Amino acid sequence: MPAHNAEAFIDRAIRSVLNQKGVSFELLVGDDASTDKTWKHISAYRFHPGVRVFRFRRRLGAAAARNRLIAAAKGRYISICDADDRLLPGNLLILTRALNKRPSAGVVYGDLYIKSPGGKLRVKRRFVHGRAWDILGGVFPHGGALMRRNVVRKIGGYRSKFKFLMDCDLFVRLAEVTQFYYLQGRPLYFQHQSRGSLSDQPLKKQREVSQTILRDAIQRRYGIRVQ
């Protein structure tokens, strides 16, 4: 759980993880050079037996901060919960059982609730399943998904060249080396879309980054450099 200036949400996000039942886990929280009271909130958990806290004095950005936390993780599986989102009850137990039963899958995930900056709430179905060449057109499974740590490390984690959509780039590359498994049913994650998130980025920027991700994928997979 990397966090930058997330004082309004961070306690709620942390509690949503600590309230998970039936599975052993550690929560790694990293303050990415926040200028508000985020670190004060995070440091309050420094003596909790299930929490490890980190403070990055220099701003790393979401991709590099996530990579730092993943490198420090001890578990076999990795789950992502953003600092303004929440794991819903049963997330870790349900997804851990699903991943344990499917050795060929490197990623398992369920549906999610999305709350827009204007307060509108909807359920989003995430339908990527098996092997997927291009998941940019769908709803890629990032927040609340459970991934095998060795698979994430195999592809090098997140690429910090991207300031946003780095999660989509990660899953495009994961789709090249492993299978996804989708558990349809009740949502297991709550995503709070805030100002400055992907949905708030200009469409031109979104297209430019998406095109870069696809050009990179074509070069990796076919050795063709697309300009």
Task: Return the domain boundaries, the chain.
Answer: 2-222
- Shortest CA distance to 10 belongs to which of 35, 31, 33? 31
The position carrying tokens 């936390």 is 69
Average pLDDT over residues 24-29: 98
pLDDT band at 1 (very low <50, low <70, confident <90, very high): very high
DSSP 4: S
Q: In what order do the strands lie in the sheet with 77-79?
A: 77-79, 146-148, 105-109, 179-182
Give per-residue pLDDT as tens, 86-120: 999 999 999 999 999 999 999 999 999 988 877 78
- Shortest CA distance to 30 belongs to which of 58, 69, 72, 63? 69
Give per-residue pLDDT as tens, 56-80: 999 999 999 999 999 999 999 999 9
Class of domain 2-222: alpha beta
Question: Which sign, positive or negative, has the C-alpha torsion 96, 101, 103, 105?
Answer: negative
